């Protein structure tokens, strides 16, 4: 077994698989999913527009007990779209984090758009400190700017998820994997 194969585990999956056609065994485990959700701060949020086409943007999110909370101005097209058809999806990737690349989790679920003061009063302080965790002045300023009259809060409740861990895929073909640095 090559050094690269050893990096990705003792047994080589290449004996069992000869392609990447079936990646069902390459899902992200619960521990890595939780780490990814808690490490990353941005996702690709996707919805269906009025023409019936898929569309998405990068948005910051706040995770809370299996629910994801996001915010946007009421005038954004995504708000009208999810009011019209409340199904959406979001994808979180490990790219840009200390986890490295190659780990993703995609959720699909239902959205509720909130405008109440109670939800805003709960959300804005938590969201601001989640996005600006090490700078109270920045978090307070961010919170102040968020709290504008026409801003809404999106509650996204996933009911399906699909994860992927590329390390498991590369274990099938260790010779094709990029070697990890020796420590």
Q: What is the mean pLDDT of residues 156-168?
A: 87
Q: What is the mean pLDDT of residues 122-129?
A: 98
pLDDT of amino acid 134: 94
Regarding predicted confidence, which is higher, 9 or 111? Answer: 111
Regarding predicted confidence, which is higher, 39 or 9? Answer: 39
CA distance 40 to 93: 8
pLDDT of amino acid 3: 40
Q: Is the pLDDT of residue 165 over 90?
A: no
pLDDT of amino acid 166: 72
pLDDT of amino acid 125: 98
Q: Is the pLDDT of residue 164 over 70?
A: yes
CATH of domain 3-13+27-170: 2.30.110.10
**What does 84-147 look like in DSSP terms, one character per residue?**
HS-EEEEEEE-TTSTT-SSEEEEEEEEEEEE--HHHHHHHHHHHHHHHSTT-HHHHHHHHHHH-
Q: Does the model's pTM come out above 0.75?
A: yes
Q: Is the dihedral of CA 112, 114, 118, 121 positive or negative?
A: positive
pLDDT of amino acid 7: 42
Do the bridges between strand 42-48 and strand 103-114 make them parallel or antiparallel, or are there none, so unpaired?
A: unpaired
């Amino acid at each position: 077994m090559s050094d690269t194969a050893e990096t990705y585990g003792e047994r080589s999956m290449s004996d069992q698989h000869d392609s990447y056609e079936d990646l069902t065994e390459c899902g992200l485990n619960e521990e890595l999913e939780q780490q990814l959700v808690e490490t990353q701060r941005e996702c690709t949020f996707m919805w269906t527009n009025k023409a019936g086409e898929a569309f998405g943007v990068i948005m910051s999110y706040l995770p809370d007990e299996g629910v994801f909370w996001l915010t946007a101005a009421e005038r954004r097209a995504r708000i009208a779209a999810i009011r019209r058809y409340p199904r959406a999806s979001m994808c979180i990737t490990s790219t840009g984090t200390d986890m490295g690349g190659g780990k993703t989790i995609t959720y699909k679920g239902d959205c509720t758009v909130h405008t109440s003061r109670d939800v805003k009063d709960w959300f804005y302080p938590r969201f601001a400190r989640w996005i600006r965790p090490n700078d109270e002045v920045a978090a307070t300023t961010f919170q102040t700017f968020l709290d504008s009259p026409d801003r809404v809060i999106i509650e996204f409740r996933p009911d399906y998820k699909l994860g992927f861990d590329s390390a498991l895929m590369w274990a099938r073909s260790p010779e094709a994997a990029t070697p990890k640095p020796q420590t």
